[in-house]
Amino acid sequence: MADNPGARTPRSDDHGSGGADGEPRRALAVALVPQIDELTRRVVADIHAHSGTYASGAPVSRVDLWEICRDNLLRALEDFGGLPSSGGDFEYAARETGRRRAEQNVPLDTVLQAYRRGGRVMWQVMAEHLRATRAGGAGRGQDPVGVGAGDRDTELDMAGAVWETIDRYSLVMAESYRLTQLEMQGRQDTRRVALFEALLDGRGDDPAVAAAASAALGVPVHDRYVVVVAAQDPAAPPNPAPVLDDHGIWSFWRPRSGRYAGIVRLAAGESGVLLDLLRHRTGATAGVSPEFDRLAQAGRALRLAEQALRTLPAGSGEAAALDDRLAEVLLVGRPEIAERIVTTRLGAVLDTAAERDALLSTLRVWLDNGCSAARAAELLYCHRNTVLNRIGRIAELTGRSAESGEARLGWALALRALPLLGADGEPEPMEDYVGQDLQHPPGDEHAGESVDDDRRRRGGRRPALRSSET
């Protein structure tokens, strides 16, 4: 491309305006420049006749097309004839065409076709002029444009020069078009990310923000959505979007505080599909919010998805919906209470090293199957009496009746709390997933203490639990 105003890109066959073929080009260009408006009219009419996009007048109006065609044709004629540019850089019009049509979302192929149509009409007009001048000159024994009646080689050279000029301008236009598209995409991506972050920050309550986010993301303001927060596990892909997209599920994701947060649009019945894909196709450890029907609710949904994620072991590759982890959410928010529930409800069972694993596994299966000894026996591949004996042993160790609803609730909560405790029996700090103090919720007088500070305040006391293998 020419970088300086008035500079003309050299052509391999351009021997200068004084060369054998340079003077006919100059003479032809000088003769046609005064007819630029008529040439423009013919080109615009031809483009309208062969392109429904341009003929519709939207997004390219007739005035817009006229102005851009006139500018391109004038510069092409001046460039072809070696004339000084009347408007600076010869290729400016081509670059401006590419920029403007990209911003108007006119397909590039349509613009290139218009260039070819313009070049065709331009050569038709040149050929008509050459024939007319040859005919007039022959009657007077003269050749005004320097092309003899029998000199077809020079005419063919001029035709080649015309199409070389059109091709070069087409390339310049296409390059400008693609660069503009990249710039527009960058701006759109920046805007999309900013509005996505605004939704997650809770600013979607402003109708203008919600509407702008809806337009930028290309989804309705009202629909079925969930927010997913996925830990950036080394073994899992960093962004679940491609997996979901392969299954026709729309989503938009961005890294956020060491995790990936995404809004996922669901069709009816797709919640289970989403969890299955997260578990088995991405390997990501992820928490999923309850469904919501307005983009404005994304900020609240993010907090709920984070709560679900906190209940999952780091790097486990598990995915869980908040509604399936409500007890764990309550326990993980109060780790000292969770520790106390384990100690008071199952502490004696945990102290029985020889029986511990069998008792805990039996208790879990028994509770999960409606406290049915027969069903638990089937699943554990043992006799029904074995299940009853183990449940009786747990009741004996804990001093609680297996028939008591309160005892069953306490055992169930203790089993849920066990995975939330560290391998050394210490409640797990939750900073792995969320950069905030979860040992002490807002309002706690010890909020802001580190785990070590908390331990020192309690006199170095460690929990009685020794392990959480089960």
Here the tokens at position 353 are 């090293």
Please give the residue that has the higher pLDDT: either 24 or 449.
24
- For the chain, how big is the Rg over CA atoms in Å? 38
Look-up: residue for tokens 């066959």?
A: 13
Q: How buried is 340 (Cβ within 10 angstroms: 0-12 exposed, 13-18 middle, 19+ buried)? A: middle
Residue type, 45: A
pLDDT at 432 (0 to 100): 43
Quickly state the pLDDT bin for 11 (edges 50, 70, 90).
very low
Percent residues over pLDDT 70 in the chain: 81
Quote the longest CA-to-CA distance of the chain: 128
Rounded CA gap, 191 and 90, in Å?
Answer: 35
| Whether pLDDT at 2 is above 60 | no
| Whether pLDDT at 271 is above 80 | yes
pLDDT digits (tens, 9 = 90+) for 194-234: 999 999 999 999 999 999 999 999 999 999 999 999 987 77
Here the tokens at position 79 are 């460039």
| Whether pLDDT at 358 is above 70 | yes
Quickly state the pLDDT bin for 140 (edges 50, 70, 90).
low
pLDDT at 330 (0 to 100): 87
| Whether pLDDT at 447 is above 90 | no
- 443 pairs with which residues across the strands? none
pLDDT at 139 (0 to 100): 52
| Whether pLDDT at 248 is above 50 | yes
Phi/psi of residue 229, nearest 5 degrees: -115, 120
Please give the residue that has the higher pLDDT: either 131 or 298.
298
pLDDT at 199 (0 to 100): 96
pLDDT at 5 (0 to 100): 35
Quickly state the pLDDT bin for 30 (edges 50, 70, 90).
very high
Quickly state the pLDDT bin for 1 (edges 50, 70, 90).
very low
Which of 122-136, 210-224, 429-443 has the lowest average pLDDT?
429-443
Here the tokens at position 14 are 């351009």
Rounded CA gap, 95 and 171, in Å?
Answer: 9
Instruction: Single out the residue of 90, 77, 96 nearest to residue 38, CA to CA.
Output: 77
Query: Which DSSP symbol is given to 447?
Result: T
Look-up: residue for tokens 């006139």?
A: 70
Mean pLDDT over residues 107-122, rounded?
96
Quickly state the pLDDT bin for 393 (edges 50, 70, 90).
very high
Whole-prediction pTM value? 0.61
Here the tokens at position 202 are 């809770």
Please give the residue that has the higher pLDDT: either 452 or 178.
178
- H-helix or E-strand spanning residue 452: helix 451-457
Strands of 133-275, DSSP E: 222-231, 251-256, 259-265
Q: How buried is 377 (Cβ within 10 angstroms: 0-12 exposed, 13-18 middle, 19+ buried)? A: buried
Phi/psi of residue 254, nearest 5 degrees: -150, 145
Percent residues over pLDDT 90 in the chain: 63
| Whether pLDDT at 469 is above 70 | no
pLDDT at 288 (0 to 100): 96
pLDDT digits (tens, 9 = 90+) for 178-190: 999 999 999 999 9
pLDDT digits (tens, 9 = 90+) for 374-387: 999 999 999 999 99
Mean pLDDT over residues 153-176, rounded?
91
Rounded CA gap, 303 and 200, in Å?
Answer: 9
Answer whether 232's CB lies under 8 Å from 260's CB: yes
| Whether pLDDT at 137 is above 80 | no
Q: Is 141 left (phi over 0), alpha (psi -120 to 50) or beta?
A: left
